[in-house]
Each structure stands twice: as C-alpha cells, then as structure tokens.
Amino acid sequence: MDREYRYWAWLSEGEHSVDAAREIIRTWQDPRGLEKEESHTPDGWRTTWTYQDVRDQHKRGHLLPITAEVAEQRTRS
C-alpha cells in the first residue's frame, strides 16, 4: 500500500519562504487513520513530532504546505 504524503516546511515566526525552512516534514495517515510524520535529516527521513508540536503550539513557528516537488528539491543531498 502506497502512502499518500503531505509535505510541510516548518518556518520561524515572520518567515514566509520555504528557503527559510527549519525542517521539511511529511505526514500521512496509517491504515488505522492515525496521523504519522517524519522530518528530513542528513541521514534521510526520521520519525519526529515536530508537525504535531507546532500544531499544538509546543514549538514556535508555523507550517507552510509545500508540494512533493519542492520537498524533493529541499531534501536533495
């Protein structure tokens, strides 16, 4: 079963460009309908809680929806 990812750039407050992203995040729903996430690191995609923490205001900043193509460009090694 292929995952249907949604991609996000985590930006600091006041930033509006993906070029200023602190992290690139991808989210999806697992077969039970639970939301999962990973952030891109130098070692590849790793499970994180950044998306949820920003949504719940445990971390500052905001999430900018981005396309898969933009995510790919931003995560190329």
Count of C-beta atoms within a 10 Å radius of residue 72: 12
Q: What average pLDDT score do residues 64-75 get?
A: 96
> Hey, is 12 helix, strand or coil?
coil
pLDDT at residue 2 in the model: 75
pLDDT tens digits along 17-68: 999 999 999 999 999 999 999 999 999 999 999 999 999 999 999 999 999 9
Range of the domain at 28: 6-75
The answer to whether residue 19 sits within a structural domain is: yes
> How many structural domains compose the chain?
1
Asked if 30 contacts 36 with a C-beta cutoff of 8 angstroms, the reply is yes
- From the list 20, 22, 26, 28, the residue with the least C-alpha distance to 10 is 22
b/e 42-58 (16+ beta carbons within 10 angstroms → b): eeeeeebebbeebeeee
Q: What's the confidence (pLDDT) of residue 38?
A: 97
Tell whether 51 is covered by a domain. Answer: yes
Identify whether 1 is part of a domain.
Answer: no
